[in-house]
Structure 1
Amino acid sequence: MKRRDVLRAGLAAFSGGLASAGGPARAQAVPDELAEIDRRLENPAVLRGEFEQTKSIQGFKRPLVSRGSFVMARGRGVQWITAQPFASTLVVTRERLLTLGEAGVSQQIDARQEPGLRALNEMLMALLAGDVQALAARFTAQVTLQGAHGWRLALTPRDAALAGFISRIELEGARHVNAVRLHETSGDASHIRFLNPAASALSPAEAERFGP
């Protein structure tokens, strides 16, 4: 699979997940307001919850709505478990992107063969975790602090490769990321709400899906 196809596959898997054709992000100084968001966020070893995703696609009158749950394990990856309208599981780690259907593995992409996949996976994990250090390395950020706990963050890609897919990302939350709005250069847009976040442990099945 060609690199651009890999990036588009990852983009579709997360209804606009992040990707970059470049290598690892360079460290950037984090502005004070971004550092304040980092202080407000909780960062448990394992975070799980539910999601509702609405995607508006150019040429379609009605948006596509999907619902399900997610599990994020710090240092390991994210599992994106869609229940409606069709059952599927997306497993994202730094080494691979794996989709699971009812019959088992339907597609796997190895980051060792496609270096761009690692950047995509890191950005997806950074979004769900609210990892401001990783986000600041690849995006120009506009921060709005709301009261003692709330915040909003608008991100614009720094590099041309990423800007070819994404025009703007908006996040909002408090102790956790509550919502993500992602605007693609194609005109498509996604709104993802995260519900009932809670710290927990991985189940044996979840740990197995992440791999060794």
Structure 2
Amino acid sequence: MKLVLFVLLMGLVTPLAAEPAAFEARFQQERTTPGLDRAFRSEGRVHWVAGEELRWETESPFEHVYRLLPDRIIEIHPEGEAEEIRAEDAPWVVSLNELLMALMSGDQEQLAALFDVQPLAADDEDGMRFRLKPRDEALAEQIDAIEVVQGRWPEHIHIKEADGGHLDIRLSDHQGDRPDDEMLEVEDDS
């Protein structure tokens, strides 16, 4: 289940915007786990090609790659060995990829079906902040909430896990093509 949660969290590192053709950024992440005294830190690059692939490349403290494709997940270990999880062997891969596609593309209808989207701050020069609370009970058993800070690109994603763990992801050196006017709009109901 930790692999599923990790892969889900990787999907949040893309802009919540209308179908970006391609996206790339550097990431730094810190994971805290209940019962462990020290946080685990890693950094690398994330790549997204709409409808085709999400590639999460950890460069430090060791090299490791996850590739998410529409019908499978491929994990590539530092020594080059690859493990593949195919949709026909694990039906959850399709559900997970559907969820990730909604997150990647900023499909507001699908996103609203999966999460309760709550604004935390109004749009300004620094972007917007919002919280995603899972609607699905199975997902809510793993994730309490996800907080996102986004300008033109996502800048900070903080995942609060149901077991008390946290995953803090900071993005920089963004590159890609996405129109400025196609960002997710979060309505403030207050």
How far, CA to CA, are the matches of 2:101 and 2:44 in structure 1?
A: 17
Distance 1:43 1:145 in 2: 23
Deviations 1:145-181 (A, max 9, x none): 3226611120111121111111111111111111111
Aligned CA distance change for structure 1 residues 95 and 129 (closer, same or farther; 3 Å): same
In structure 2, the residue matched to 1:140 is 116
The answer to whether 1:185 aligns with 2:162 is yes
Aligned length: 173
Q: Which amino acid aligns with 2:152?
A: R
Contact 1:77–1:125 (CA under 8 A) maintained in structure 2: no
The structure with the largest strand share of the pair is 2
Instruction: Say if 2:131 and 2:147, in contact at 8 Å, map to a contact too.
Output: yes
What TM-score, normalized to structure 1?
Answer: 0.72
Q: Which residue of 2 aligns with 1:209?
A: none
Q: TM-score, normalised by structure 2?
A: 0.80
Q: What is the rounded CA distance, in whole Å, between the counterparts of 1:148 and 1:87 in structure 2?
A: 36
Judging changes above 3 Å, is the alpha-carbon distance between structure 1 residues 126 and 66 closer, same or farther for their aligned structure 2 residues?
farther
Aligned 8 A contact 1:87 1:102 in 2:
yes
Structure 2 residue runs of 5 or longer lacking an equivalent are 178-190
| Residues 4-62 of structure 1: per-residue CA shift (max 9 Å, x gap) | xxx43221456x557xxxxxxxxxxxxxxxxxx97xx4753111110001111111121
> Which residue is 1:91 aligned to?
67
Q: Give distance in 1, aligned partners of 2:30 and 2:98.
A: 23
2:44 maps to 1:68: yes
Q: Distance in 1 between matches of 2:70 and 2:122?
A: 31
Match of 1:108 in 2: 84
Inter-CA distance 85–13: structure 2 relative to 1 (3 Å threshold): farther
* Whole-angstrom distance in 2 between the partners of 1:86 and 1:124: 25
3-state secondary structure, aligned to 1:86: coil
Determine whether 1:122 maps to 2:98.
yes
Identity of aligned residues (%): 29
> Quick check: 126-135 or 189-198, which moved more?
126-135
Query: Is the 8 Å Cα contact of residues 68 and 81 (structure 1) preserved in structure 2?
Result: yes
Q: Is the 8 A contact 1:98 1:105 kept in 2?
A: no
* Alpha-carbon contact 2:50-2:104 (below 8 Å) kept: no
The structure carrying a bigger helix percent of its residues is 1
CA RMSD of aligned residues (A): 2.4
**Partner residue of 1:57 out of 29, 33, 36:** 33
